[in-house]
Amino acid sequence: MRYGLILLFCASLAVGGLHGLPADAQTLGQRGGSAEASVPRFFVEFRARNAASYGHMYVMYGEVNERHEVLRSEIAGFFPAGDSRNCENCSVYNWTIGHVVPVPSEIGASDGDLEEQFVLARYRVWIDAAQYKRLVAYIKQRKVHQGPWHAFLNNCVTFGRDVAVFLNLNVPPLMRIAPAVVMYPKDVVEWIRDANNGEKDQGPLKDAPGALPAEVVAKVHTKSSPTQAADASTTGSTEEKQAPKKRLADKPEDSKVSSVIH
């Protein structure tokens, strides 16, 4: 890869006082059973994507129709605070300082999360309505009590790990007990997938017709240049995928963009 090889050293302590979902949240559609169970309506997808540093891990969660087309969804990732519409790279300062001391943080969507050509790994889990409701409440609570961002102790990877633990998914023992481990976002997504016997090479979900506001479609499409589109269609290796133009790719999007999936 062309990007920096900075290592993430992450704490493995789960968020205190927050309980996981009842029962197992494995992929319902892979278990067979009733016709209703074979067409699950709610999902959470753990994703890792390229960035110009060491990548980013985040989760997307939402509802689909009977054809597994996305009706609504949200994005939640943990990253340094600072960017705004008038200052797109202001989080660079917090990102840099955050490798030494904790800095203010945000939970939400960041620049590049909606662009499929940047995705390095994904693991999608189907959950029921009650589990989805509790997951939404959990992420809302994390936004209220998110704590500071730190490159080695509290970052996008530990946030993704916490969501997996909350869902009662299996995670590698090292991620639960070690005070600090070396983890890249792509590796973490694949570790969680493999620990739960997840399907490899899951394709992306498609949006239901009319699910995206016209202004959101236009915004996403204009962010990908013709060169990037050609590169994405002619390469299959993750090493060749383009990274977002911005150095950190951690700009929070507006509410309309953060509620969709591509």
Residue 10: the pLDDT is: 37
Residue 103's pLDDT is what?
94
Q: What is the mean pLDDT of the chain?
A: 73
Q: Which residue has the tokens 């009662």?
A: 168
Alpha carbon distance 213, 222 (integer Å): 15
CB 56 within 8 A of CB 48: yes
**Whole-number Cα distances in Å, 229 to 115, 116, 117, 221, 242:** 10, 10, 8, 10, 10
Question: For position 4, what pLDDT does the model report?
Answer: 37
Q: Which of 253, 234, 251, 250 has the alpha carbon at shortest distance from 242? A: 234
* Per-residue pLDDT at 35: 45
| 189-227 confidence digits (pLDDT tens) | 999 999 999 999 899 999 988 665 555 556 555 655 444
pLDDT < 70 regions, the chain: 1-39, 83-88, 178-182, 210-262
Q: Which of 100, 126, 106, 112 is nearest to 46 (CA)?
A: 126
pLDDT score for 93: 84
DSSP string covering 4-41, please? --PPPEE--PPPTT-PPPSS--S-GGGS--STTTTS--
pLDDT at 213: 53
220: number of Cβ within 10 Å: 17
